[in-house]
Homo-oligomer: A and B are copies of this chain.
Amino acid sequence: MEIDIRFIPVPPDPITLSDRIAIVIDVLRATSVIVKALSEGAAEIIPVAKVEEAFQKAKTFPRGTTLLGGERNSLRIEGFDLGNSPKEYIAERILGKRIILTTTNGTRAFDLVSSGKEVLAACFFNLRAIAKYCLSHKEDLLIFASGDEGNFSLEDVVCGGMLIEKMVEEKASIQLTDAAVAARILYEKFKGNLIEVFYTSRHGRDLVEKGFGEDLLYCAQTDISEVVPIFREGVIRI
């Protein structure tokens, strides 16, 4: 069993990927929203790339079953029901609903790894559950950091490093690529103070400037959810 991690959101080799479980991470904030929404009872989440696509898609479902969520420039999109703060995704608003989600980095990442044997969504909330799932499936893994507009995003890689750490603690024989070794070292640097990674990262500081500082504290919570979101044929469900 080998763990690799992709540091920037460029398409991985589809042949290699078809033998691996891909794990998409966009801590700030798409996969945090996805995990939170499914934990609170959303029926399913459909990630789409474009705002227009989200509106079109919503029309294909019965009225009242579907909510629109996501962001552009970190802000709620005009005409959408929900923004991109995980705190908004509470049972009172989303229980049993389908959510069509469009965000700058995270939703695109699912497309890039869609040829994976399985495609999961992870964030700090559900790493214990993801580690347990992957250890029981014994497949090679590709952790996929969604990045920051195509660039390296520190918080996603540190989250990936934490997943690697959890898995290696359980099973020391797991092989790590150079990238996975590096991600683990980066996690070690921040593990005493995870919130610090958000204040260090460009995207984290940008969110603070835009008034989403509380989201950083929220997204730094670890192991508060047992859900393992699985992306299949364009839809994310538990």
Residues of A within 8 A of B (CB): 4, 7-8, 10, 148, 151-154, 157, 177-179, 181-182, 185-186, 189, 200-203
Chain B: which residue is nearest A175 at the CB level? B202
Q: List 24 A-B contacts (CB under 8 A).
A: A4-B151, A7-B8, A7-B152, A7-B179, A8-B8, A8-B10, A148-B178, A151-B178, A151-B179, A152-B177, A152-B178, A152-B179, A154-B178, A154-B181, A154-B182, A177-B202, A178-B200, A178-B201, A178-B203, A181-B200, A182-B182, A182-B186, A185-B186, A185-B189
Chain B: which residue is nearest A153 at the CB level? B178
B residues within 8 A CB of A201? 178
- Which secondary structure dominates where chain A touches chain B? helix
A125 to B148, CA, bound (A): 33
A180 to B178, CA, bound (A): 17
B residues within 8 A CB of A203? 178
Assess whether A10 is in contact with B10, with CB atoms less than 8 Å apart. Answer: yes
Inter-chain pairs besides A7-B8, A182-B186, 10 sampled, C-beta below 8 Å? A7-B7, A152-B182, A153-B178, A154-B178, A157-B182, A178-B202, A178-B203, A181-B200, A182-B182, A186-B186
B residues within 8 A CB of A8? 7-8, 10
Chain B: which residue is nearest A154 at the CB level? B178
A180 CB, min distance to chain B CBs, angstroms: 9
